[in-house]
Structure 1
C-alpha cells in the first residue's frame, strides 16, 4: 500500500516535470535569440593532459554553480575527457552531490594548509567513469583566516593543482558564493572562468562586479585568465522576466553567452539527493541533454580539449 502511494506520487511528479516548460528541449538549446547551432559530438582524445583549469564562479548564491560543475563534469567525462572537480566551497555541496562523504576523509583544506597529504591521497573516485573529485567540508571555512599571513597566499591552490594537472584534461573548480581569498585563489589557478547566471534580475546585477574582479586578477596575478563564457541557468520560458533577463545578458555580453541554456526542473534536486549527476539519474531528460550540449559547445569553443 505504501509502495503504491510512492509510485503514484512519482508518476504525478514526472508528469509535472514534463509539463514544466513547454518546448523545453528547444528552449535549452536556442533561447538566446541567436541562430541555433548543433554542436557535433567530439572526437576521442588521442592523449590526456595537461588540464585546462576552469573556475565556475559567481558571488551570488543559488545560481547553479554546483549543479553545473557536477553535470558539466559528468557530460565531459561521458565524452572521454578526464575530469577533476574541485569542491572549493565550505558547504561541501559538490561532494554531497557526487555522493562523497567527507567527515573522515582528507580534503582540499588539508592541501591548502599543510604537507601532510599529497593531492593523490585527497582525490576520490566518483561513481561516474573519468570523473574524480577533490572534496571539501566545513573546515574549509577556516582557510581564509589561516591564509592571511601566508606568503603568496593567492597562489596556493595553483601550486596544489600543478601536481595533478598532467593527469586530467579539464579541472573544474566549484567556487563559493563570494569574492574572498578562496575565490581569488581559484581565479589565480585558472585558465578560464565560466559564469553560471540565473535568469533573474538580481543575479544579473552582480555580473559586472564579477567581471571587474576577473580583470583585477588578470592585471595583478594571472595574465592568462580569460572569460570562457556565461551560462544561463534556471531559465523558465513561461515567464516574461526570464526571457527579458536572457535578452539583456545577450545584449550586454554578446558571444560570451553560451547558446546552451539550462532550464528549471525538479530533476536537479532529485539527482542531488541520489548523489549522482542528472546525466546518470535521468540521461534522456532534457536537462541532461542540455548539459551534454553545453559540454559540446565548450569543446567547440576551445575551452576544453
Structure 2
C-alpha cells in the first residue's frame, strides 16, 4: 500500500479537491483506494455520496486505536473508493496526540490495519501546522503539496511546508525516512502570460531544493473542478473531452497525467483508462 498525504500549512490551496479527484481516477483505474480525512472541517467526508456510513471514523481510529475496519470505513458511490470520515468536530485529536507518547507516530503504527486491503491511501489534511499534520507526513511515502501560482503562496510554502519537512527530519534517527515532497501547481491560468511566468518562477525557485520534486503536471483553473464537486463525482468523469476552443486539456487528461507522474507504479492501469467510460455511472 502506497501512502500519499496532501499537505500545506496554508488553507484554500485545493488539498481536498486534489485528494478526491486523485482517489477517484485511481479507483476507476482498478486500484483499491482509501481516503483518510484528517481535516476538522470535513469537506472530503462530504465530497462523495456514501453507499454505507460506518459508525466511527478518524476519532475512533486515533483516539481509541480502533482496528475493526467495519466500524471505521465508509463506502462511497465510486466502486473501489472507500473513506474514513472526519468526525473530530471539536478538534480534540490535536490535544490528545500532542500529549501522547506516540502521538506523531500513531497513524504510522496503525497502517497495518489497512495494508492488506488497499493499494493506495490518500490523506487529506488541515491547512495549518499541527500534530495531526506532522503525523500524516510521518506516515507517508509521498507528500503532495498544492501551491497556487502566486508569489505569496510560494513564500508561505517555503515558510510553512518546507519548515515542517525540516522539523521532522530528526525522525531519521528512529529509522523513519521523511517522504519526498512533490510540488503541484494548482489553479494555473495558462492564458495569462504573467501566470505562466510565475509558474516557471515557482519551478525554478524550488528546483534546487533537496527533497522537492516540482511536478510537470499542473492543474488548470477551469470550471470543471467545482462542477464535479457539486455533482459529487471525480472530475475525470465530468469532463472527459476538451471543450471546443479551449487551450487547456480535458480534466480527464490532466488527472491521468498527474496520476501517472505521481504514481508511476500504476502507470499501465492509468494508461488503460478510456475517456468517458464511466460517464453513465452517475448515481
Matches within 5 A, 1:87-166: 87-100=37-50, 105-115=55-65, 118-139=68-89, 141-166=91-116
Secondary structure of the residue aligned to 1:186 is helix
TM-score, scaled to structure 2: 0.81
Structure 2 gaps, min length 5: 243-249, 270-283
Alpha-carbon distance in 1 for matches of 2:66, 2:213? 41
Match of 1:226 among 170, 173, 179: 179
- Shift of the 272–114 alpha-carbon distance from structure 1 to 2, 3 Å rule, reads same
Q: How far apart, CA to CA, are the structure 2 residues paired with 1:116 and 1:296?
A: 33
Runs of 5+ unmatched residues, structure 1:
1-50
Cα distance, 1:208–1:241 mapped onto 2, change above 3 Å: same
Quick check: 1:281 aligned with 2:231? Answer: no
> Residue 259 of structure 1: SS of its match in structure 2?
coil
- Does 2:249 match 1:298? no
Work out whether 1:173 is the aligned partner of 2:123: yes
Residue-by-residue CA offset, 1:50-88 (whole Å, 9 max, x unaligned): x11111101111111111101111122222222111111
| TM-score when normalising by structure 1 | 0.76
Shift of 1:104: 7.9
Matches within 5 A, 1:9-158: 51-100=1-50, 105-115=55-65, 118-139=68-89, 141-158=91-108
Q: How far has the Cα of 1:180 moved from its partner?
A: 0.5
Instruction: Give the root-mean-square deviation of aligned CA atoms.
Output: 2.6
Q: Deviations over 1:74-120 (max 9, x none)?
A: 12222222211111101111111123499984111121111456234
Please tell me whether Structure 1 or Structure 2 has the larger radius of gyration of its CA atoms: 1
Residues matched between the structures, number: 255
CA distance 1:108–1:251, shift in 2 (3 Å):
same
Shift of residue 234 of structure 1?
0.2
- Partner of 1:296, secondary structure, is helix
3-state SS of 1:206 partner? helix
CA distance in 1, matches of 2:97, 2:82: 26
Structure 2 contact 38–132 (Cα < 8 Å) conserved: yes
Any idea what the Cα deviations from partners look like across 1:183-202, whole Å, max 9, x if unmatched? 01101111121111111222
Rounded to whole Å, the distance in 2 between the matches of 1:303 and 1:140 is: 40
Matches within 5 A, 1:192-271: 192-209=142-159, 210-220=161-171, 223-254=176-207, 256-271=213-228
Q: CA contact under 8 A between 2:53 and 2:74: conserved in structure 1?
A: no
Distance apart, 1:204 and its partner CA:
0.9
Range with bigger deviation, 253-262 or 84-93 = 253-262
Whole-angstrom distance in 1 between the partners of 2:95 and 2:51: 25
2:274 corresponds to which residue?
none
Distance 2:34 2:151 in 1: 32
Name which structure has the greater RCO, CA cutoff 8 Å, separation 6+.
1
Question: What secondary structure, in the 3-state scheme, does the structure 2 residue paired with 1:156 have?
Answer: helix
Name the SS for the 2:215 alignment partner: strand
Deviations 1:235-287 (A, max 9, x none): 01233442122111111223811111110122222221222211223333512
**Secondary structure of 2:145 counterpart:** strand
- Asked if the contact 1:109/1:140 (under 8 Å) is kept, the reply is no
How far did residue 124 of structure 1 move?
A: 1.4
